[in-house]
Amino acid sequence: MKTPVAIIGAGPAGLLLAHLLQRAGIESVVLESRGRDYVERRVRAGVLEHGGAQLLREAGVGDRLDREGLEHRGIYLRFNGEIHHIDFKRLANRGIFVYGQQEVVKDLIAARLASGGAILFEAEARRIDDRDAHHMSVLFTQGGDEQRLECDFIAACDGSHGIGRATMLSRNATGYEHIYPYAWLGILARTPPAADELVYAYHERGFALHSMRSPQVSRLYLQVRRDETLDGWPEERIWSELRLRLHEPSLDAGEILEIGVTPMSSYVMEPMQDGRLFLAGDSAHIVPPTGAKGMNLALADAATLAAGLIEWYGKHSSERLDRYTASCLQRVWRAEFFSAFMTQLLHRDELDGEFEHRLRLAQLKYVTSSRAASTSLAENYTGAATS
């Protein structure tokens, strides 16, 4: 099998890349180890920055986002019995969209299949062979058969546990990592949202987040210990802890549609390319979800890589491709800083005492009362700081 660009992974990064290339007349094949149903149902993040939404619109896949996405002008910060609205529209002149990552994935898969592009589901990439620019290939298995996909370029968009990251690490790439001592227990529930916009709550018992997917469905998170399992969290305990930390005593305990625990870490790989192998999205970097940046970074990498490949095929110039790592890392490190900042601002570490608690309250007070500090939060959250 032969294609110009082999793309490993059908998440937001791999799918947007395939779609942008297709629109420019460049063929590719997407290899995805899971089935279509699985990737379309996997519940993930849900916030699109103005820039992420714009990328989808420009790529011609923004119609459903514009119809069904929830446009928010800001977020709420709750702490110490107070609630404060940070008005992004006023402070940074742009808002955000709440739209589930699996909806973005569904839209991109539909567009890809409608245009006749190839996605091989249940096709697992096993090895990247890229030592020689003239003999690039990905070895993969599908239905028990081993096959080789020959190509000019390989885009590893295969997430943090894929072979892209492992391949780069076996060479000279460096991974910079920070592990947080906590995780998020997340539920998707058939409960009308208790607020009109996202509520980030800092409580002495730990962080909680109230997000949503529709007027009937809420997405809610609780900070838990990193090593915690769901065994210790029967539904009643989840709801009572959410009500307490979010200050929403009447939050309705609706049917839980999905539940999971995600440990939190920050990770950046440098460089994000080696020869004709390029990493995009989670394969190259991870952010803790508190800054709502994961999906946006994945889409931005894909757009940057697509522009480089389009220039290479159109003008035979590698200028943009050569600058790929540098272009991405500036945005990535800014998002890493903001995500770590939001995480440390809003989470309670088990080792923290009263002193750290009071420091956090002082910082929250500042962020919500100083125009400069709240503008900084708004610029970073909406992506205005990086575009």
Partner interacting with residue 163 (select from ligand APR, ligand PHB, none; CB below 5-8 Å by kind): ligand APR
Shortest Cβ 111–ligand APR spacing (Å): 15
Q: Would strands 174-189 and 153-156 be described as parallel, antiparallel, or unpaired?
A: unpaired
Residues 172-201 that bind ligand PHB (CB under 6 A): 198
Has 200 been annotated as catalytic?
Answer: yes
Catalytic: which of 50, 285, 293, 347?
A: 293
Distance between CA atoms of residues 77 and 91, nearest Å: 15
Between 211 and 266, whose beta carbon lies closer to ligand PHB?
A: 211
96 contacts ligand PHB (rule: CB under 6 A): no
Q: Is 259 exposed, middle or buried (0-12, 13-18, 19+ CB in 10 A)?
A: middle
291 contacts ligand APR (rule: CB under 6 A): no
Distance between CA atoms of residues 285 and 279, nearest Å: 9
Residues 260-289 that bind ligand PHB (CB under 6 A): 289
Has 247 been annotated as catalytic?
Answer: no
Query: Is the distance from CB of 194 to CB of 243 less than 8 angstroms?
Result: no
Query: Is the distance from CB of 24 to CB of 298 less than 8 angstroms?
Result: no
Distance between CA atoms of residues 123 and 119, nearest Å: 9
Shortest Cβ 299–ligand APR spacing (Å): 8
In the set 157, 209, 367, 378, which binds ligand APR (CB under 6 A)? 157
Distance between CA atoms of residues 312 and 320, nearest Å: 8
In the set 28, 137, 266, 290, which binds ligand PHB (CB under 6 A)? 290
Between 50 and 78, whose beta carbon lies closer to ligand APR?
A: 50
Closest CA to 126 of 33, 39, 37: 33
Has 72 been annotated as catalytic?
Answer: yes
Question: Which two structure tokens, joined as six digits, stand for 228?
Answer: 């915690």
Question: Which two structure tokens, joined as six digits, stand for 292?
Answer: 């709502």
Q: Where are the alpha helices (DSSP H) in 317-353?
A: 319-322, 324-346
Partner interacting with residue 33 (select from ligand PHB, ligand APR, none; CB below 5-8 Å by kind): ligand APR
In the set 111, 173, 224, 292, which binds ligand PHB (CB under 6 A)? 292
Has 293 been annotated as catalytic?
Answer: yes
163 contacts ligand APR (rule: CB under 6 A): yes
11 contacts ligand APR (rule: CB under 6 A): yes
In the set 295, 328, 335, 346, which binds ligand APR (CB under 6 A)? 295
295 contacts ligand PHB (rule: CB under 6 A): no
Distance between CA atoms of residues 183 and 289, nearest Å: 10
Has 12 been annotated as catalytic?
Answer: no
Q: Is 67 exposed, middle or buried (0-12, 13-18, 19+ CB in 10 A)?
A: exposed
Helix, strand, or coil (residue 348): coil
Partner interacting with residue 292 (select from ligand PHB, ligand APR, none; CB below 5-8 Å by kind): ligand PHB
In the set 5, 6, 7, 8, which binds ligand APR (CB under 6 A)? 8
Contacts of 57 (CB under 8 A, 6+ apart): 65, 66
Between 87 and 122, whose beta carbon lies closer to ligand PHB?
A: 87
Query: Is the distance from CB of 99 to CB of 46 less than 8 angstroms?
Result: yes
Longest distance between any two alpha carbons in the chain, whole Å: 64
Supply the residues annotated as catalytic. 72, 200, 289, 293, 381
State the residues that interact with ligand APR by CB under 6 A. Answer: 8-14, 31-34, 39, 44-45, 101, 124-125, 157-159, 162-163, 281-282, 294-295, 298
State the residues that interact with ligand PHB by CB under 6 A. Answer: 45-47, 198, 209, 211, 219, 289-290, 292
